[in-house]
Amino acid sequence: MDNEIRNSLLAMGFELYDSYDQSLLYEGLRGHVDLSIFFDGQTFVCSKESYDYYRQLLSDHISGKYRLVQGVKNLEKKYPGDVALNLAYTGSYAIGRLDSLEPRLIELIGRRGDLKIISVNQGYANCSICQVTDGAVITGDPGLSKTLRGRGLEVLEISPGHIGLDGMDYGFIGGASCDLGQERVGFFGDLASHPDGESIRSFIEDHGKEAISLGSGRLRDYGSGIVFW
């Protein structure tokens, strides 16, 4: 994450923690938090190799309020071996490529009887989905859009691309955004740089939230972010 965006988050009062460096992944993905750890608001599930790092990093938080679960799978460089924790979670829906997910994560969501679980072909589900509300999302993936609409979600489908990701042709809207809490959705860069920026902003505002550009220039995919209090 670049310094401009980090400084914006610090100015908003956030304390920042660096995600685990998954050195075995491609250079542009190795620091993406949505590949190394998942959070549902109560429980963190992390990759097997990142457990010691996150246990130390989050020690002040997991001792009481939250729980940290170590996965049993090591991430792999080649897709879909890198998507074990890339599950999109809205609160009401869990969306991911189920046959590639971490078993401990499958166990966690399976215990939620009220959670609607949607299996999709797109392994980078969390990367591809900007979560606005429990039942409203934004994606540039036509296949995801069709599947999610069919399962009752409200979907804004945007143009794919127009988002930077180091070493890749382009990044994804989920990885370029983050739920900041307090009815705010943050974007890593200037939302106006995206050709569908105004539609994205309007969709978010129509759902009672504020869209915040955290930087200038093109949107960048940094693997989203996890906010906890």
Domains of the chain, each with CATH number or no CATH: 3-220 (3.75.10.10)
Average pLDDT over residues 53-63: 88
Strand 177-181 with 163-164, pairing: unpaired
pLDDT in tens, 79-88: 999 999 999 9
Residue with tokens 């409203």: 136
Burial class (CB in 10 A: 0-12, 13-18, 19+), 66: middle
pLDDT in tens, 8-40: 999 999 999 999 999 999 999 999 999 999 999
* CA pair distance 112, 134, nearest whole angstrom: 15
> Mean pLDDT, the chain, as a whole number?
96
* CA pair distance 194, 7, nearest whole angstrom: 22
Q: What is the pTM of this model?
A: 0.96
**Cα 47 from chain centroid (whole Å):** 15
Cβ-contact 129, 144 below 8 angstroms: yes
Would you say residue 61 has pLDDT above 90? Answer: no
Q: Helices (DSSP H) in the chain: which residue ranges?
A: 3-11, 33-36, 51-57, 59-62, 103-110, 125-128, 142-150, 197-206
Using pLDDT thresholds of 50, 70 and 90, give the confidence band for residue 103: very high
Residues 6 or more apart from 166 whose CB is under 8 A from it?
27, 28
* CA pair distance 83, 125, nearest whole angstrom: 9
**Cα 5 from chain centroid (whole Å):** 16
pLDDT reported for residue 221: 98
Instruction: Identify the three-state secondary structure at position 153.
Output: coil
